Amino acid sequence: MATTVNYASTPRCGEGQVSTANTNRDGSGTLGNVFAAGASGSRIDTVRIVATGTTTAGVVRLFIYDGTNNRLLSEHLVGAITPSTTVEVYSTEITYENGLILPANYILKASTNNAETFNLHAIGGDY
């Protein structure tokens, strides 16, 4: 165990977009890359999911890829929304209170249950 605290020293923002319907929870099917950890590992503090248009009831899933396997991290329910000048598009923010730590070369990935487009933004840093 380290005797000193190690903070993420280089701020980073990872971004990805998913739009291909994928109902799988086992990590198979089409997944989009959101954030690739650096050579010494990375920390993600927040992930923001934002639809680009109309949504129907569904799910956006986050996965962690370890270089061999995609493992389900979390599911985020999407509500049915028709955006307009008075109704915002669907969006949500996931905050990891103690940070989501990714070892070197791990990747945060995402998928959408329905064929709808979502932008994902991961805010964090590299060690």
pLDDT tens string for the chain (127 positions)?
A: 456 656 777 899 999 999 999 999 999 999 999 999 999 999 999 999 999 999 999 999 999 999 999 999 999 999 999 999 999 999 999 999 999 999 999 999 999 999 999 999 999 999 9
Q: pLDDT tens, 59-69?
A: 999 999 999 99
Residue 114's closest CA among 26, 51, 45? 51
With a CB cutoff of 8 Å and minimum separation 6, the contacts of 117 are 17, 18, 19, 51, 52, 53
Strand partners, 41: none
Q: pLDDT tens, 90-114?
A: 999 999 999 999 999 999 999 999 9
With a CB cutoff of 8 Å and minimum separation 6, the contacts of 35 are 12, 14, 16, 42, 44, 102, 107, 108, 122, 124
Task: Read off the pTM.
Answer: 0.92
Name residue 126's amino acid.
D
The dotted CATH code for 15-126 is 2.60.120
